[in-house]
Amino acid sequence: MTTIAVAETPLTLGLLRLADTALVHSHRLSEWCGHAPMLEEDLALANIALDLLGQARALYTHAAAVEGAGRTEDDLAYRRDAPQFRNVLMAELPRGDFAFTILRGFLLAAHALPFWQATAGSRDATLAAIAAKAEKEAAYHVRHCGEWVIRLGDGTGESRRRMLEALDTLWPYTGELFEVDDADRAVIADGILPDPAVVRAPWDATIDRVFAEAGLDRPAEGWMQSGGRWGRHTEHLGHLLAVMQHLPRAYPDATW
């Protein structure tokens, strides 16, 4: 496969981080299609995956336009390899069991909702428009996953055990959601993307409220995983991309 290197300015990098996180998380959710514990949940996870895929497409299209090198959303999704992906690590972890999937969905959506709300006021008009749509979708995702976190955490011994296990695994990946580097600082200063500090308080409030109802203790803030936003990934992303990019890798000229 011929890979491409996107010219990374603070803006294209910021857009790729958002788009890659949405796309990779969407792909993990789509792995449940046909396998969810019940039909309604099969529909729900596929629906959430579809929302995220739509957000990723709009973000890639915008990133390609900002880069101005004549690339398309497909080039960005299919012609980069793992080291070029900028998603947070949490999104790429294997799908795990249902409790793991639901908790990951909740942690990411609880961040996405206030993040998109703040981004709806971006000075980048296209990004603001994407955010205005994504915000409404994120509200559904928080509600759906949040209600399941409560049901599983406060459910049977088995559902609770699995939720606690998922929480143990996922919590160290939450730190990446609030990281700030020089590129972030540049787009924050330009009023294009929100300061993670603005997103932190509403995220905390959502987590605390749902965890209290679910009977889950919030883990202590300790050492956090990091690296995805700079292209340093777990071994899982390469396998995900091999599946997701199979068609354009095998047939580079394919269009649809």
Q: Which residue of 13, 29, 51, 88 would you call a contact of another protein, by CB under 8 A?
A: 51
6 vs 150 by CB, closer to another protein:
150
What 8-state DSSP symbol labels residue 34? T
82 vs 152 by CB, closer to another protein:
152
Contacts of residue 241, Cβ cutoff 8 Å, sequence gap at least 6: 81, 82, 85
Confirm or reject binding of residue 40 to another protein (CB under 8 A): yes
Confirm or reject binding of residue 128 to another protein (CB under 8 A): yes
Q: Show the binding pattern over residues 129-168: x = contacts another protein (CB under 8 A), - = does not.
A: xx-xxx-xx-xx-xxx-xx---------------------
Confirm or reject binding of residue 65 to another protein (CB under 8 A): no
Confirm or reject binding of residue 44 to another protein (CB under 8 A): yes
Q: Which residue of 12, 21, 30, 55 would you call a contact of another protein, by CB under 8 A?
A: 55
Half-sphere exposure of 99 (CA within 13 A, CB side): 22
Confirm or reject binding of residue 43 to another protein (CB under 8 A): yes
d(CA 20, CA 55): 10
Confirm or reject binding of residue 48 to another protein (CB under 8 A): yes
Confirm or reject binding of residue 50 to another protein (CB under 8 A): yes
109 vs 188 by CB, closer to another protein:
109
Angstrom distances, CA of residue 6 to CA of 12, 15, 76, 81, 124: 8, 11, 8, 12, 20
What 8-state DSSP symbol labels residue 97? S
User: Distance between terminal CA atoms of the chain?
Assistant: 18
d(CA 138, CA 110): 8
Confirm or reject binding of residue 73 to another protein (CB under 8 A): no
128 vs 164 by CB, closer to another protein:
128
d(CA 2, CA 119): 34
Q: Scanning the structure block, which residue is given the tokens 């929302």?
A: 51
Q: Quick one: how far is CA 59 from the chain centroid? A: 12
58 vs 89 by CB, closer to another protein:
58
d(CA 149, CA 141): 12
Confirm or reject binding of residue 125 to another protein (CB under 8 A): yes
- Please give the residue ranges that form the binding site for another protein (CB under 8 A): 40, 43-44, 47-48, 50-55, 57-58, 125-126, 128-130, 132-134, 136-137, 139-140, 142-144, 146-147, 206, 209-210
